[in-house]
Amino acid sequence: MNTKNALHFAQAFGHEATDKRIDILKRIGEVGSISEAARSANVSYKAAWQALETLSNLAGSALVEKAVGGSGGGGARLTQAGLQLLEAAELLNQARADVLFKLEQHSGNTLNLSGLAGLGLRTSMRNQLPCQVKAITQNLGTSRVQLELANGATLVSRITNESAELLGLKAGMPALALCKATAVRVGMGLQGPQSLNHIRGDVIRAPSSTTGGETSIALMAGLQLIGFSALGQELSAGQAVMAAVDESAFVIAIAGY
């Protein structure tokens, strides 16, 4: 395996305990069938294929190939790259477990370990909010996921059913709600469709009313949201405002700690 492939593999690693994609790949290696692996992992065949496509794209190499036979039909086996990815994922999982154990042993630890999942993300999404899954409802191929912040405020994210399956979302799970700053409108008395999240906060930093632009608001102590206010909005530090974010703009990431 050359250095370039090794770097690609690093992008595919999630936290093994919560990463359904790695679990599905492991099961394919065990049973030699994508459909059987999907059934045993309690996900749909479509979700299993989505998992394989995502992992292969991140790894930069095919992880599964066709094979004769297979216990559940549609025989499949792991490529050398697939086997290497599973081995590397196991080593990474062991290393994470060791680090977390040491952190948890420190007396007086005040860190929110579940929120530290964001440290492993390199993304242009500047808003990364630690939260907890409150409820999930499905309708017409999508899942509406209610996410509760530490102050009790609720956000809603709309994702595909397959994505909810692969994340293994359940009420009570820790997670991160992510969205781009450009997806957040900040102002007074914002109106919009029911698919909008309306989030209250206090202005920390605001642009001039003659220019409009990036605005930062505090949702609670230690948690802020970055968005954009419109030209002509006269906002000042400490002012109570509203942020509006469409449900489809929130991405869910699992905090693997």
Q: Do domains 126-178 and 179-249 have the same CATH topology?
A: yes
CATH number of 179-249: 2.40.50.140
Which residues, 6 or more positions from 57, have their beta carbon under 8 angstroms from its beta carbon?
none
Domain ranges of the chain: 3-104, 126-178, 179-249
Rounded to 5°, the CA angle 128-131-135 comes to 130
Q: Is the pLDDT of residue 180 over 70?
A: yes
Fold of 3-104: Arc Repressor Mutant, subunit A (1.10.10)
Q: Is the pLDDT of residue 118 over 80?
A: no
Query: Does this model's pTM top 0.85?
Result: no
Which pLDDT score is estimated for 201?
Answer: 94
CATH number of 126-178: 2.40.50.100
Which residues, 6 or more positions from 13, have their beta carbon under 8 angstroms from its beta carbon?
19, 22, 88, 89, 92
Mean pLDDT taken over the chain: 83
* Token output for 241: 């405002």
pLDDT, one tens digit per residue, over 199-252 is: 999 999 998 877 889 999 999 878 999 999 988 888 999 999 999 999 999 999
